[in-house]
Homo-oligomer: A and B are copies of this chain.
Amino acid sequence: MEWTDILGLVAGICTTVAVVPQIKKAWQTKKVEDVSPVMFSILIIGVFLWTVYGITKKDMPIIVTNGVSLALNGVMLYLMLRYRQK
């Protein structure tokens, strides 16, 4: 494994798991008022398209990182719909 592979792997882990602290915060406080639902909607479309791109290119790292991102951002969007102010 080249050091550039490790660099890409660490970069991919960071951008994939970054949303976890936001999910934790929303889950604990049950407040999402200041979070943009448009941001998460566009992110979900983006990582979905990246996943399709990975499938067409048969590129496993792209499929895995964006597949996980899709799931995590989906959880965040669900929490936002659940906790939003009426």
How long is the Cα–Cα vector from A45 to B22 in the complex, in angstroms? 16
A residues 54-68 with Cβ under 8 Å of B? Answer: 56-57
Q: How many copies does the complex hold?
A: 2
Known contacts A34-B35, A56-B4; A11 and B50 CB within 8 A of each other = yes
Residues in B with CB closer than 8 Å to A40 are: 18
Residue of B nearest to A13 (CB): B46
A33 to chain B, nearest CB (A): 5
Tell whether, in the assembled complex, residue B53 and residue A7 are in contact, meaning their CB atoms are under 8 Å apart: yes
Show the binding face of A for B, using Cβ within 8 Å: 4, 7-8, 10-22, 24-26, 29, 31-36, 38-40, 42-43, 45-47, 49-50, 52-53, 56-57
